[in-house]
């Protein structure tokens, strides 16, 4: 039984980290990061079978996670540090010169927890499929998790990957879509409507689940359900309903905070809404 | 001016005699080596995008169906899947036509493979003009440039069947991203079977004093033919096979140019971004010397037979020999 109150405390601290990192760097992407804080907390602190102390790129015998929408690196780095992949003090170097915490995740600086570079969208799903196929060949029964954005689904490569994963029965793969319905240029439905997203994935022969990305019990429960559905010949995708900027009132309900850092005053207003729980870095 | 297209080496001390054992395609060298690799190393996996037999991967696919992944006509996904397979310790060989595994998927290679430093082997057939009748849409002449610009990427363009086979074994043992370029036509096979392939190590084919010809890929044999023509005129050509364009064997290049003082480069690629460009860059920084480049001069290709195309675009053996005469006059 998960300690949901603890998970919520962690997620709140992760949100504080996001605000402070993006403010400190005077650049970065707070909106999507805040929206995925609950999901990544649930994944790394409750669902993922992993051992940060023995991190290796290969990840043999462990679950692995691939972040396809690399611009939400603040939430990824915070969750990695908070779950023990590296010292939380390093979060203060985000996007600064000589840092391992690049603007978008990279393996180039050997940051523990990162297995492939992302940032240019649409590639992480394919990479996760390859990693899952390697696990199948290695008879490694652990799983591969991938997170993508929803705007990212406009990339053609996503649908190449969707066909491929179903054709090759990549059934040790659980993909989550951050379905906040917003992208840089505006609401997704204005920029490029995705239509019947559930129907699209079902027609590609994927198992489709949905969850409320801000309800910790639902996130943990749905991820566990997805895990239970693995190994049945089909890949699984979860449409995760989220709100960009969730947890900071003035960042919600708009796409304006996709890639804009808060100024000093805005940072203080935001942090006042996010009580410190595990201690700031 | 040299006009003949084939030369027979009569006994001439200025030019070593090369024996052609048979006429074979370089792509078959790759395919035959891949099959052997599949038998030797269970981590060898292969991917192709609906051109399996054209790239000669059908033998591997038939013998190891669980380690061969048909990707359909979807190269972007294929490249990134290959990057993912390395995460579990696999050694993926990704095959298609050179055009479709470079230009079409440059960003996937850049981010998922080169920047992420993944152990992916990009194996590209039907490179250059000698793809022939399909024409310019398929005749990529920019792939060496695209690939050599990427940090971490090794770029190899072997000259014949035996060398392509040896190169395929060599890149399997090398840890890191590699671009292996080969072609469609059957060409003279003259590399000794037992010749070791060392990545980044140029091969001396003929020692000479008057001019150095640096050639790569299919044009290595054309350079040998040019060497015979030059030797008949009393010119002593040094001929070096640059099978690895990156990392370039700078020691071999500089040592030779110090002796001969002038250079011809020969490749089935655009002049911009190719082997000649790499050598000229090295020489201009360290040892300026006159250079003539036998390469495609900012043109697209067209339909035709391979030899007709090499002739039309100025990449034939007489073109190399004429370039040698010209560059010697500039010393």
Complete domains list, chain B, with CATH: 23-189 (3.40.50.970), 197-329 (3.40.50.920)
Task: Search chain B and give the residue with CA nearest A111.
Answer: B116
- The pLDDT assigned to B12 comes to 80
Q: Tell whether B91 is within 8 A of chain A (Cβ).
A: no
Nearest-angstrom CA–CA distance, B22 and B9? 17
Integer angstrom CA distances of residue B148 from B43, B114, B154, B180, B244: 27, 11, 7, 11, 10
In this predicted structure, the answer to whether residue B205 has a pLDDT above a threshold of 80 is yes
Active-site residue, B75 included: yes
Residues 6 or more apart in contact with residue B256 via CB below 8 angstroms: B212, B238, B240
- The predicted model gives B211-236 an average pLDDT of 97
Closest to A182 measured CA to CA, from A259, A244, A267, A230: A244
How many percent of chain A have pLDDT more than 90?
98
Nearest-angstrom CA–CA distance, B42 and B222? 38
User: Which residues from chain A sit within 8 angstroms of residue B45, using beta carbons?
Assistant: 137
Nearest-angstrom CA–CA distance, A166 and B153? 31
- The pLDDT assigned to B28 comes to 98
Q: Where are the domains of chain A?
A: 4-272
Give residue B11's pLDDT band: very low, low, confident or very high (50, 70, 90).
low
CATH of A4-272, one of 3.90.1300.10, 3.10.105.10, 3.30.960.10, 3.40.50.970: 3.40.50.970
In this predicted structure, the answer to whether residue B244 has a pLDDT above a threshold of 60 is yes
In this predicted structure, the answer to whether residue B5 has a pLDDT above a threshold of 60 is no
In this predicted structure, the answer to whether residue A62 has a pLDDT above a threshold of 70 is yes
Nearest-angstrom CA–CA distance, A272 and B177? 48
**B89 to A58: CB separation less than 8 angstroms, yes or no:** yes
Instruction: Extract long-range pairs of A218-225: CB within 8 Å, 24+ residues apart.
Output: A219/A38, A219/A39, A219/A42, A220/A2, A220/A4, A220/A7, A220/A42, A220/A46, A220/A47, A223/A42, A223/A43, A223/A46, A223/A47, A223/A174, A224/A47
Q: Tell whether B112 is within 8 A of chain A (Cβ).
A: yes
- The predicted model gives B23-43 an average pLDDT of 98
In this predicted structure, the answer to whether residue B8 has a pLDDT above a threshold of 80 is no
User: Which residues from chain A sit within 8 angstroms of residue B72, using beta carbons?
Assistant: 160, 163-164, 167
- The pLDDT assigned to B10 comes to 67
Using CB atoms, which residue from A59, A123, A135 is nearest to B111? A123
Give residue A21's pLDDT band: very low, low, confident or very high (50, 70, 90).
very high
**A160 to B88: CB separation less than 8 angstroms, yes or no:** no
Give residue A72's pLDDT band: very low, low, confident or very high (50, 70, 90).
very high
**B108 to A123: CB separation less than 8 angstroms, yes or no:** yes
* Minimum mean pLDDT range among A11-25, A67-81, B12-26, B107-121: B12-26
**A126 to B111: CB separation less than 8 angstroms, yes or no:** no
Give the position of tokens 């039984």: A1
Closest to B170 measured CA to CA, from B267, B276, B93: B93
Question: Before B247, cis peptide (omega within 30)?
Answer: yes
Using CB atoms, which residue from B77, B85, B86 is nearest to A160? B77
- The pLDDT assigned to A190 comes to 96
CA–CA min distance B86, chain A (Å): 7
pTM score: 0.97
Q: Could you count the other beta carbons within 10 Å of the beta carbon of residue B16? A: 17
8-state DSSP, B213: E
Using CB atoms, which residue from A58, A108, A161 is nearest to B87? A58
Using CB atoms, which residue from B74, B80, B90 is nearest to A123? B80
CA–CA min distance B122, chain A (Å): 15
- The pLDDT assigned to A1 comes to 75
State whether residue A84 is helix, strand or coil: coil
Tokens of B275: 């082997």
In this predicted structure, the answer to whether residue B3 has a pLDDT above a threshold of 90 is no
**A126 to B89: CB separation less than 8 angstroms, yes or no:** no
CA–CA min distance A141, chain B (Å): 12
Mean pLDDT of all residues belonging to chain B: 96
Tokens of A29: 């992407």
Q: Which of B75, B142, B268, B292 is catalytic?
A: B75
How many percent of chain B have pLDDT more than 70?
98
Integer angstrom CA distances of residue B150 from A53, A251, B269, B270: 32, 39, 17, 17
- The predicted model gives A13-22 an average pLDDT of 98
Among B41, B68, B75, B77, most A C-beta atoms within 10 A, so best to mutate, is: B77
Nearest-angstrom CA–CA distance, B324 and A58? 51
pLDDT per residue over A96-144, tens digit each?
A: 999 999 999 999 999 999 999 999 999 999 999 999 999 999 999 999 9
The answer to whether A240 touches A176, Cβ cutoff 8 Å, is yes
The answer to whether A58 touches B88, Cβ cutoff 8 Å, is yes
**A116 to B108: CB separation less than 8 angstroms, yes or no:** no
State whether residue A219 is helix, strand or coil: helix
Give residue B229's pLDDT band: very low, low, confident or very high (50, 70, 90).
very high
The answer to whether B42 touches B33, Cβ cutoff 8 Å, is no
pLDDT per residue over A137-181, tens digit each?
A: 999 999 999 999 999 999 999 999 999 999 999 999 999 999 999
Whether ipTM > 0.90 holds is: yes
The answer to whether A104 touches A71, Cβ cutoff 8 Å, is yes
Nearest-angstrom CA–CA distance, B260 and B225? 19
Q: Tell whether B80 is within 8 A of chain A (Cβ).
A: yes
Nearest-angstrom CA–CA distance, B31 and A161? 26
- The pLDDT assigned to B2 comes to 84
In this predicted structure, the answer to whether residue B9 has a pLDDT above a threshold of 70 is no
């Amino acid at each position: 039984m998960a300690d949901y109150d603890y998970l919520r405390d962690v997620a709140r601290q992760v949100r504080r980290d996001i605000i402070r990192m993006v403010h400190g760097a005077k650049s970065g992407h707070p909106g999507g990061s805040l929206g995925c804080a609950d999901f990544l907390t649930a994944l790394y602190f409750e669902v993922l079978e992993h051992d940060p102390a023995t991190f290796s790129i290969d990840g043999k015998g462990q679950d692995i996670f691939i972040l396809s929408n690399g611009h939400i690196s603040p939430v990824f780095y915070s969750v990695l540090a908070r779950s023990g992949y590296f010292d939380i003090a390093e979060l203060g170097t985000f996007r600064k010169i000589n840092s391992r915490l690049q603007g978008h995740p990279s393996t180039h600086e050997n940051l523990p927890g990162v297995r492939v570079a992302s940032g240019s969208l649409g590639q992480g799903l394919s990479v996760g499929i390859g990693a899952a196929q390697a696990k199948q060949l290695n008879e490694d029964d652990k799983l591969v998790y991938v997170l993508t954005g929803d705007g990212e689904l406009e990339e053609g490569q996503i649908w190449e990957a969707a066909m491929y994963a179903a054709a090759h029965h990549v059934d040790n793969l659980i993909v989550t879509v951050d379905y906040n319905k917003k992208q840089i240029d505006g609401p997704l439905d204005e920029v490029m409507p995705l239509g019947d997203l559930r129907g699209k994935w079902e027609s590609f022969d994927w198992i489709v689940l949905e969850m409320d990305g801000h309800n910790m019990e639902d996130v943990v429960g749905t991820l566990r359900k997805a895990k239970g559905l693995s190994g049945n010949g089909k890949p699984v995708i979860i449409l995760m309903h989220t709100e960009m900027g969730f947890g900071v009132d003035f960042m919600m309900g708009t796409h304006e905070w996709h890639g804009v850092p808060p100024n000093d005053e805005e940072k203080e207003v935001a942090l006042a809404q996010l009580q410190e729980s595990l201690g700031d870095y | 001016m040299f006009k003949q297209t084939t030369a027979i080496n009569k006994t001439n001390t200025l030019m070593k005699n090369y024996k052609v054992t048979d006429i074979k395609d370089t792509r078959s060298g790759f395919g035959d080596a891949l099959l052997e690799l599949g038998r030797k190393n269970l981590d060898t996996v292969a991917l192709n995008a609906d051109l399996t037999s054209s790239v000669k991967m059908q033998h591997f696919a038939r013998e190891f169906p669980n380690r061969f992944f048909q990707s359909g006509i979807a190269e972007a996904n294929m490249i990134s899947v290959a990057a993912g397979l390395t995460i579990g310790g696999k050694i993926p060989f990704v095959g298609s036509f050179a055009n479709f595994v470079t230009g079409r998927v440059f960003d996937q290679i850049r981010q998922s493979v080169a920047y992420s430093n993944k152990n992916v082997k990009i194996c590209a057939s039907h490179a250059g003009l000698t793809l022939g009748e399909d024409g310019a849409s398929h005749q990529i002449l920019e792939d060496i440039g695209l690939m050599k610009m990427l940090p971490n990427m090794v770029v190899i363009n072997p000259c014949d069947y035996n060398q392509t086979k040896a190169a395929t074994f060599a890149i399997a043992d090398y840890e890191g991203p590699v671009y292996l370029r080969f072609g469609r036509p059957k060409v003279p096979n003259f590399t000794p079977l037992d010749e070791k392939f060392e990545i980044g190590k140029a091969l001396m084919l003929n020692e000479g004093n008057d001019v150095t010809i640096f050639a790569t890929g299919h044009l290595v044999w054309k350079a040998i033919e040019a060497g015979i023509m030059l030797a008949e005129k009393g010119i002593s050509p040094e001929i070096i096979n640059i099978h690895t364009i990156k990392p370039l064997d700078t020691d071999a290049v500089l040592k030779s140019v110090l002796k001969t003082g002038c250079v011809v480069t020969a490749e089935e690629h655009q002049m911009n971004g190719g082997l000649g460009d790499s050598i000229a860059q090295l020489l201009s920084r360290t040892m300026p010397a006159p250079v003539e480049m036998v390469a495609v001069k900012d043109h697209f290709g067209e339909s035709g037979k391979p030899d007709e195309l090499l002739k039309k675009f100025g990449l034939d053996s007489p073109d190399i020999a004429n370039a040698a005469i010209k560059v010697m006059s500039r010393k």
